Chain A
């Protein structure tokens, strides 16, 4: 967990762009992400999807390098698919959500948040981030 208990979420697109957002709760991040993903369903260009996410989420940094994160969202704009991973206090990475944009919009932010907290949906990936 990062300093001051803020959740650092990194959104990664297939064009090599990393968007970083920071909020006090994962719930808020998922809520913002759903709002941002909603208009993305009509585009398959990662550059345009990146711009829409930057418009819908409070983005603190935009770069081409991965930084330390508590929550990672891998977005495949072409396939309209996303994956949410979270890191626990021991830096163990768990996949908490994987599905299409459409499916992601049908679940409630609370549900994703609950999966993040349970850390159990898909189990640990077995990778420990150093």
Chain B
């Protein structure tokens, strides 16, 4: 049976272009991102990388204004680095950050594993912080 769910991501480039893309799973986002960056690795111009991304992804919108989405990818074409962030408690938390070179060398499942590991560490930290705050409030009362 076909999956009805999809993940919407925003890819932000340093030329102020924001591409909103739709993928079936987060894993597909990594896979397609690798495919696009593999082709675009010879360019260091954000305009050209943005064009390459549209050839690989199902792009639903191209603009300059950010929309609230499930996950964010920041691409720095000049420094050749990328960052993946996800919302944790309505705040953006970086779950993966590396150079194009390392990103292209890693397999998508390895990237996802690393992403999950960082995300669970962030969530654990946040929940322990919340628990500590709740405990403090309780003690104050």
Contact = CB atoms under 8 A, between A and B. Distances in A.
Interface of A: 15-17, 19-20, 45-48, 50-51, 54-55, 59-65
Contacts of A64: 15-17, 64
Interface residues on B, range: 10 to 19
Contacts, number: 64
B47 interface: yes
B59 interface: yes
Given A17-B64, A48-B60, A50-B62, A59 B17 contact: no
Nearest to B59: A51
Most interface-central of A19, A20, A59 (chain B CB within 10 A): A59
The binding surface of chain A is classed by DSSP as mixed
Given A61-B45, A64-B15, A64-B16, A47 B61 contact: yes
Interface of B: 15-17, 19-20, 45-48, 50-51, 54, 59-65
Contacts of A50: 61-63
A46 B61 CA distance: 8
Contacts of A61: 45, 47-48, 50-51
A51 B62 CA distance: 5
